[in-house]
């Protein structure tokens, strides 16, 4: 049943994740200065599900209860569009800057459950886990890649075979796993999902790494080791994004952790791991959420850029208009990908309606290349205005009247202009902004490998045949002309 923000925060207090920050265990993330901002931002998303204005978009009824729309198994294109609307509504609340809101992984678990036959002997585990997440409306995180010890060698050839997460042994109660994964974004979750990510090469010993499972983030022996925080401070004026949306990224360590049998989804099958996302439709549904999220993020860049230019009178210049128009083109491209993905949806082999992969592949391959340019455009429009940014305390200090005079804009008073430019700074030049760019570059993995995969899976034959036919016709005309000559 759709939970409230208070229920989410209470769960964190009662069963906090095993979270380590600068060598100390975080006992209560709801009050910790690094984590309390993102906890409240997440709680606000859950509360939105109960707002009468958004209830029909963000929830649906099943078995007499209201559940989050991201758990809805789509049967029609209208269902798919409803899911897209829910994604966008949540994304808009945080300007598309929250990359791991629960709907992202809910989409994966939903697709797995709808295609549960793919998982063979563990099919019922997948279905039960989906119902468990849905009925409790839990927040999830996941950890994808292996530690960067030696990328030139397979998991089994690392200095220790349990640097990557692998199965140590099987018991009557479940499997015992050891190793680590990076990077888990948003550890302030109820559950962590260890699913297949990068291609696992077949070879001696590879089966121990072919696993998929889920655990509570409070499980004994499971540790989340955090990077240094990017929270600039508590003031939403000074740090409008980082004070609220520092999701945190962690190394996840499994120190001989028991995974109960009912939480195991794949075990020892390399082929099943490597094809899980694509064949179940999970890849398509993840990307569907992502294209809605990136649309919201691009809209935020457009809004900030247009307000900045207008606020300092720079919108009269042709080169500034060109830059803002460039953002408009990017936005319309993302919206077109999104629309086509829904309109050309088809059922997969398990009867699950999935958004069109070709459109989504276009979006998820293009956006990592667009995002650095979006950031650059804000920097070019803001220029030195992104550096000359007094704090909230300065506007309350003795020099406030002077700041009001010298920092006003063409259409904004000084406080409004500085607040706007501080938002642009937090999107671009702050530690939070820099992390956003790195995040976008590798959101779906190595961009080069993604392009290689696109090359391999995309059906190029119709276009090749069109050229062959054209050349045959052209050569035929040339030959006929020679005969006639």
**Is 47 labelled a binding residue?**
no
**Is 103 labelled a binding residue?**
yes
Residue 485: which residues within 8 A CB-CB, separation 6 or more? none
Take residue 223 and report the two structure tokens written for it. 């540790």
**Is 418 labelled a binding residue?**
no
**Is 447 labelled a binding residue?**
yes
**Is 468 labelled a binding residue?**
no
**Is 446 labelled a binding residue?**
yes
**Is 144 labelled a binding residue?**
yes
**Is 218 labelled a binding residue?**
no
Question: How many whole angstroms separate alpha carbon 411 and alpha carbon 181?
Answer: 49
319 C-beta neighbours (distance < 10 Å), count: 9
Is residue 364 within 8 Å of residue 290, measured between CB atoms?
yes
**Is 272 labelled a binding residue?**
no
**Is 133 labelled a binding residue?**
no
Question: How many whole angstroms separate alpha carbon 381 and alpha carbon 323?
Answer: 8
**Is 115 labelled a binding residue?**
no
**Is 185 labelled a binding residue?**
yes
**Is 128 labelled a binding residue?**
no
**Is 151 labelled a binding residue?**
yes
Is residue 140 within 8 Å of residue 190, measured between CB atoms?
yes
**Is 148 labelled a binding residue?**
yes
List residues forming the annotated binding site for FAD. 142-144, 148-151, 185, 446-449
List residues forming the annotated binding site for substrate. 100-104, 142, 197-198
List residues forming the annotated binding site. 100-104, 142-144, 148-151, 185, 197-198, 446-449
């Amino acid at each position: 049943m759709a939970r409230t923000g208070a229920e989410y925060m209470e769960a964190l207090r009662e069963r906090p994740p095993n979270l380590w920050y600068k060598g100390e265990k975080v006992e209560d993330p709801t009050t910790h200065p690094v984590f309390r901002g993102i906890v409240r931002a997440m709680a606000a998303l859950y509360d939105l599900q109960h707002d009468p204005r958004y209830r029909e978009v963000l929830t649906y009824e099943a078995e007499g209860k209201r559940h989050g729309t991201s758990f809805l198994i789509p049967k029609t294109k209208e269902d798919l569009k409803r899911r897209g609307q829910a994604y966008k509504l949540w994304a808009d609340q945080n300007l598309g800057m929250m990359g791991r809101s629960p709907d992202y992984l809910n989409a994966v678990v939903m697709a797995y459950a709808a295609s549960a036959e793919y998982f063979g002997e563990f099919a019922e585990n997948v279905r039960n886990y989906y119902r468990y997440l849905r009925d409790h409306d839990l927040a999830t995180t996941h950890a994808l890649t292996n530690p960067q010890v030696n990328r030139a060698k397979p998991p089994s050839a690392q200095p220790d075979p349990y640097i990557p997460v692998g199965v140590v042994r099987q018991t009557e109660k479940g499997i015992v796993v050891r190793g680590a994964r990076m990077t888990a974004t948003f550890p302030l979750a109820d559950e962590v999902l260890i699913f297949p990510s990068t291609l696992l090469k077949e070879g001696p010993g590879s089966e121990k790494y072919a696993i998929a499972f889920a655990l509570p983030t409070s499980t004994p022996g499971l540790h989340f080791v955090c990077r240094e925080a990017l929270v600039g401070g508590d003031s939403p004026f000074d740090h409008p994004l980082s004070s609220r949306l520092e999701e945190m990224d962690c190394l996840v360590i499994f120190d001989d952790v028991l995974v109960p049998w009912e939480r195991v989804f794949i075990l020892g099958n390399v082929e099943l791991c490597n094809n899980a996302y694509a064949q179940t439709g999970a890849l398509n549904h993840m990307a569907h959420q992502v294209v809605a999220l990136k649309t919201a993020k691009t809209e935020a860049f457009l809004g900030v850029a247009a307000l900045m230019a207008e606020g300092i009178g720079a919108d009269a210049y042709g080169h500034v208009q060109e830059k803002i128009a460039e953002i408009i083109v990017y936005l319309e491209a993302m919206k077109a990908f999104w629309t086509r993905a829904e309109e050309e949806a088809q059922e997969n082999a398990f009867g699950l309606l999935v958004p069109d992969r070709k459109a989504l592949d276009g979006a998820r391959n293009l956006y990592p290349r667009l995002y650095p340019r979006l950031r650059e455009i804000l920097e070019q429009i803001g220029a030195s205005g992104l550096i000359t940014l007094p704090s909230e305390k300065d506007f309350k200090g003795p020099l406030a009247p002077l700041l009001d005079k010298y920092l006003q804009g063409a259409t904004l008073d000084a406080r409004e202009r500085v607040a706007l430019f501080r938002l642009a700074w937090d999107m671009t030049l702050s530690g939070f902004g820099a992390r956003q760019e790195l995040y976008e570059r590798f959101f779906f993995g190595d961009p080069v490998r993604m392009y290689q995969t696109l090359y391999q899976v995309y059906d190029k034959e119709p276009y090749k045949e069109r050229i062959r036919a054209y050349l045959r016709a052209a050569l035929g005309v040339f030959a006929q002309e020679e005969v006639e000559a």
